[in-house]
């Protein structure tokens, strides 16, 4: 399986997916830390990929997503954005709504 096929499969198979540096318990950069905190505050389970342990994904995902930086939050197969967008959406309540809807849809699938 190619790296791009692997990325597509991860995005398709996880309703809520965060590509980040490190893990939710041990983020390895400030942006990933802020993003994971915002996602976790929504109270739903989510998948993550530690791009520091996956250099091929780290190299290919920015090209695939047309988004140059990490973290990247994907909900229902769509790129939501990076740290600033995630945090802005969390502050407005929009992120919680999106994540709860995605989790609900995922449970019923």
Q: Is 21 annotated as a binding residue?
A: yes
Question: The pTM is what?
Answer: 0.96
Residue 22: pLDDT above 90?
yes
pLDDT tens for 61-100 read 999 999 999 999 999 999 999 999 999 999 999 999 999 9
Q: Is 58 annotated as a binding residue?
A: yes
pLDDT 10s digits, 94-107: 999 999 999 998 87
Domains along the chain with CATH numbers: 3-108 (3.40.30.10)
- Could you write out the three-class secondary structure of the chain? CCHHHHHHHHHHHCCEEEEECECCCCECCHHHHHHHHHHHCCCCCCEEEECCCCHHHHHHHHHHHCCCCCCEEEECCEEEECHHHHHHHHHHCHHHHHHHHHHHHHHHC
| Mean local confidence (pLDDT), 13-32 | 97
The annotation status of 83 as a binding-site residue, yes or no, is: yes
What average pLDDT is seen over the chain?
Answer: 96
29 is in an annotated binding site: yes
């Amino acid at each position: 399986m190619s790296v791009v096929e692997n990325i597509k499969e991860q995005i398709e198979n996880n309703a809520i997916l965060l590509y980040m540096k490190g893990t939710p318990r041990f983020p390895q950069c400030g942006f990933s830390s802020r993003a994971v905190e915002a996602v976790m505050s929504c109270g739903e389970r989510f998948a993550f990929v530690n791009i520091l342990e996956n250099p091929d994904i780290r190299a290919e995902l920015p090209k695939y997503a047309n988004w140059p930086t990490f973290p990247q939050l994907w909900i229902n197969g769509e790129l939501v954005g990076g740290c600033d967008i995630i945090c802005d959406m969390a502050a407005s309540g929009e992120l919680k709504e999106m994540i709860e809807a995605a989790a609900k849809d995922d449970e019923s699938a």
